[in-house]
Amino acid sequence: MSSVIMNNRKTINAWAIFDWANSAYALVISTAIFPVYFIKYTPEEISLGPLNFSNSSLYSFAVSFSYVIIACLSPLLSGMADFSGRRKFFLKIFTLIGSIACTALYFFKGEPQLWLGTSAFILATIGFAGSIVFYDSYLPLIVTEDRYNKVSAKGYTYGYIGSVLLLIVILLMVQKPEWFGISDGQMGSRLGFALVGLWWIGFAQYSFKHLPKDTVTKFTSSMVKNGYKEISSAFTKVKASANIKTFLLAFFFYSAGVQTVIYLAAIFAEKELGFETAELILLILLLQLVAIGGAYFFSILGNKKGNKFSILCMIVIWILICVGAFFTYDKLVFYLLASMVGIVMGGIQSLSRASYSMLLPEKDHDTTSYFSFYDVVYKSAIVGGTFLFGVVDNITNNMRYSVLALAFCFVAGFYFMWKTTITSKIPKEEMI
């Protein structure tokens, strides 16, 4: 990679803008619009050969399948990127895949296009998830450790603000299609999916322009083998550190819960509590707006009391959310739970990324492979969480039991985080 000026404002903004760009997928496709659209325009029971699935469990399994693929690919690709200097190259490739797939969802009208819609959703998820490992790996390369928490939170905040702005436009197209000269709300949703793709690829151009350039070496077939060697080396280093291992176990379990809740909250609200589209709009906006303050609050708490204390507090709140959702039949109570999700959603992701950066050896600059391993754990957690959710949902035909099962993931995450030591190498008086 080319020479990088640490803590450069333009570089930090370019990094954060990528969150603004790709969070449109995270909010519109994975959380707010597409899950409910999928449930509404697909049959309740779907057959795949001899197997039968509810549409909600099929959606959950589609998420699982997406992350199985990317969990297998990302170690190889990130190792190759680190060896060949193509970090930004792969960031661009996955961004392109994701944005095109989101645009393709425009053609998903219902059951006749079920497998087109499911396949495009899987590809969009792969594009999003694949880009994150390269995006995250920039953090310790562009800022010093005393700014990890602040800059990480800035990225998530940019993402929340940008995605909410786009969501509001799309929701208006769904609720008031006549304002835009379109036929109905379904067409509004489909146009919204295409807008996500354009938003993602469009704003990412600023990041591509201002993030540090790759220092590219000649690409050879031997780099495939070297890619495996890179990730194998990172695995060996992680395995040798009991503290990093314990942190990653904690991260695996609580991420399984966090990401599954994010992917399936809207479906739960629609199927179990009978939320209408307008109510879901309010629910998702509440969740996202509260998340902005939550990310910064827990960043400050992490600086004052330590990241471990802050993460443990958030895990306890997540446990209360899951147990509360199991017993909730009142929409007003569910709004309260959604606001709690917003408070801890951004904070736990932001501090996890920053905490892992703190645990990495100072003299080892092989950050892409380290973050690839972190990303494999993260993606494997999503596979485990969504698969668990889908299996319980399909067996019991009751999503409440699926949510309760996630509470046990958070309990395990709390146990391993309690055993983890996270100590900043920067004196507290130097933190900002």
- Which residue ranges make up each domain of the chain? 9-425
The pLDDT value given to residue 342? 86
Q: How many CA atoms lie within 13 A of 385 on its CB side?
A: 31
Q: Going residue by residue through the chain (432 aa), what tens digit of pLDDT does each one get?
A: 556 788 899 999 999 999 999 999 988 998 889 998 999 999 988 887 788 888 999 999 999 999 899 888 876 776 666 667 788 988 999 999 999 999 999 999 999 999 999 999 999 999 998 898 788 878 878 988 788 778 887 887 898 889 989 988 998 999 899 999 998 989 999 999 999 999 999 999 999 999 988 877 776 766 666 666 777 777 888 888 888 899 999 999 999 999 999 888 888 998 889 887 778 877 877 887 787 788 778 888 888 888 899 999 999 999 999 999 999 999 999 999 988 998 898 788 778 878 888 888 765 556 666 777 787 888 899 999 999 999 999 899 889 999 999 999 999 999 999 998 877 644 444 443
Rounded distance between C-alpha atoms, residue 18 and residue 390, angstroms:
31
Rounded distance between C-alpha atoms, residue 66 and residue 152, angstroms:
25
User: Strands 45-48 and 51-54: what pairing?
Assistant: antiparallel
Closest by CA position to 276, among listed 167, 175, 191: 175
Q: Which CATH architecture has domain 9-425?
A: Up-down Bundle (1.20)
Residue type, 87: R
Closest by CA position to 272, among listed 190, 330, 312: 330
- Cβ-contact 112, 41 below 8 angstroms: no
Instruction: Tell me the β-bridge partners of 52.
Output: 47
